[in-house]
Amino acid sequence: MCLAVPGRVLGVEERDGTRMATVDFGGVVKEVCLEYLPDLKVGEYAIVHVGFALQRLDEESARRTLELFENLGMLQEEFGDPWEQAAAENGSGRPSHDVAAGEVQR
């Protein structure tokens, strides 16, 4: 299933003539195209679907929606388990982390 998920813009840049943003979706950070919302700024929220920011959203609505999605397990369904992703990135099949410190070793 593909959701339209609210996210907060962390950074904006021009890449090969396309305006792109780094967006935080409740702890999961992804790159998003801003072609439909070219005036979106750092700190603002937007609804994102399949990698495109589609509509500006107020912070309260974004936070409520993210909390609801998280409680229903929909963020993990949409973005996957961040521990599994970290494991895949380090090539070991499982994350390498210091449980006591709560840190992932890279």
pTM over 0.75: no
What class is the 5-82 domain?
A: mainly beta
19-55 pLDDT per residue, tens? 999 999 888 899 999 999 999 999 999 999 999 999 9
Mapping DSSP onto H, E and C, the string for 27-50 reads CEEEEEECCCCCCCCCCCEEEEEC
